[in-house]
Amino acid sequence: MKLHTVVAKHGVACGVLVMLLAAFGIAPHENAEDDRIVTVIEEAESYLGVRYRLGGSSRSSIDCSALMQNSFSAAGIWIPRTSWLQADHPGQTISSISDLRPGDLVFFPSRGLTIGHVGLVTEIRNGRVRFIHASSNNGEVAYDFLTGRWVDSFVKGKRFFKSSGTPPSVSPPAVPSSSRSFPLASQRRLTASDIQGLSQHERDVIRNELYAIHGYELHINRAMMNHFNNLDWYRAIPNKTRNAERVWSRMSQVERDNVIFLKNQ
């Protein structure tokens, strides 16, 4: 009998439910809000490259506030259509950039308005805040880092999720170099002598490992799927994604150069 049927039929109390979950081999979510934050971010990232158009709200063209509204809608959360109304929508106001976390909205002035532009924080790495937005400057939906003029014009942030105290796992944990087959690929640009004598399969493993360590879900090449799914560190990475652009943005420039180098060998 399925677990939800048992619960519905017998009205299980909370403590007993946890024991039932364990008996069925199902781990309860520590914070279901984290899943919704990931859903919002991944929906926004699915619009990467879509043309910017003021008033647009579709996958052919979209503006900043429509991108936010559509992304939150994917997680079952309604927010207003315009950036200034989104800034006033009930939620937690974030005054300091250092307090931002993935899933927060960030607001900026635009077109003479105190608040006329909005973006979504997708990742915080080494203290750098990255956000996704649809802007006329980029001409499309793209990532930017909250640096330079964005810091100078930052008005505030807004959080529509209950805070668990720690950011959700939208980025994979660091993989120890000792666990990797070829950690040198993240340390410096490879040369022909570095891979001399390696088979094509071994070179493919190195290239795919650069994606895997950043949380890419290998799903096309069966040989690579089998290889990495047998590795403990890869299986332990939470919230893997098939969004190659997202993973590419996580790589260092050295890693990107090595991916291209290995692909051309």
Active site (catalytic) residues: 64, 117, 133
Structure tokens that stand for 126 in this block: 């080494």
Separation between Cα atoms, residue 229 and residue 234, nearest integer Å: 7
Over the range 104-127, which residues count as b (16 or more CB within 10 Å of their CB) and which as e? bbbbbebeeeebbbbbbbbbbeee
- For residue 67, CA distances in Å to 62, 64, 74, 147 come to 7, 5, 11, 21
Task: Report the chain's C-alpha Rg in angstroms.
Answer: 21
Take residue 236 and report the two structure tokens written for it. 């332990």
Q: Where are the alpha helices (DSSP H) in the chain?
A: 3-10, 14-23, 32-45, 64-73, 83-88, 149-153, 200-212, 222-229, 232-235, 244-250, 253-263
| Residue 42 token pair | 């991944």
Based on the number of CB atoms within 10 Å of its own CB, is 33 exposed (0-12), middle (13-18) or buried (19 or more)? middle
Phi, psi of 84, rounded to the nearest 5 degrees: -70, -35
Strands 156-159 and 105-110: antiparallel
List all residues 6 or more positions away from 187 whose beta carbon is below 8 Å from its beta carbon. 254
Taking the mean position of all CA atoms in its chain, how far away is CA 200?
A: 31
